[in-house]
Amino acid sequence: MDSGCWALAMGMANEMQCRQRIKALPDGIVSRYFVILKSIYEGITWARKYPLIPPPGSHLSEIINSWNDRYRDKYRLFQDFGRRIAPLTEELNPKPQTVLLRCVDNRWQPCGYFEKSETIIAPLPKPVVAARRIEAGPTLLKPQPVLQVQVQASTVSGDQNNVDDSEKTAKKILKTAASIETTARELHTTSAKLVPAIEKLTEALEKYGQREEDLQTAIEKLTAAVAEATLAEHQRPH
C-alpha cells in the first residue's frame, strides 16, 4: 500500500488547480503528505469496512475521504483506466482539488494533468513559435494587379496647363502603383521563404522537448526509487 500512499502524496503536493504538470517536488513536502496519509491508512479498521475483498482503489478513496473529514484542503480522487477516467470519491462543494492516479502492475502512480499520460515529465519552456505547422498558401497574401489609370485629355480649349498637370499626376500615380506591386511581390517571396525556416525551428523545438522529457522521466524514476528504498530502510524492524 506504500505505493498508493506515495502516489497520493505526489498528487496532493502538486498544484493541480493550476493545471500544471507534476514537477520535481521537494522531498520534504511529499514526505509530509506521505506520513499523514500512511497514519490515516493505519488508523482505519479495514476488516469492518470491507469484510470481503475490497474493490480496486477503495483503500485510496477511504484515505481521501478521511483526509477531507480532518483537513481544510479538500481533494477528489480519480483513476486513469487507460481509455477512461473514473472518479473514486464523491464531488464536494466548493470544488476540491483533483488527484489523478493510475495502477500499473499492482503499483500506483501519480498522473496529475499530463499532456502524455505515459510518463512523469517536467514543465517545458513555452516556444515562441507555435507547434502547429504554418501553411504558406492560404495565409500569405498574393500580389494584386495594379489598377490601370487612364488619363483623358481635357476637351476644354485654352486650358492646356490643367491637362499637363493631370498627365503629370497620373504618371506619378502609375509609378507609385508599380512600386507598390513590386514591393508586394518581394514581400510575398520573402514570406514564402520564411515558412520552411519556421517549420524547421518548430521541429527542432519538438525534438529538444522530447529529449528533456526523457531525461526528466529518468530523474523522476530514480528519485522515486531512492525515496522508496529510504522509506523501506526506515520502516525495517530493528
Model confidence pLDDT, tens digit, residues 68-106: 888 888 899 888 888 888 888 888 887 888 888 888 888
Q: Which residue carries 489598377 as its cell?
A: 147
Q: Which residues contact 82 (CB under 8 A, 6 or more apart)?
A: 102
For residue 24, which phi and psi values (nearest 5 degrees)? -75, 100
pTM over cut 0.85:
no
- C-beta of residue 41 within 8 angstroms of C-beta of residue 59: yes
> Which tens digit of pLDDT belongs to each residue from 119-168?
434 444 444 443 344 344 444 444 455 445 454 544 545 566 666 777 88
For residue 136 the three cell numbers come to: 504558406
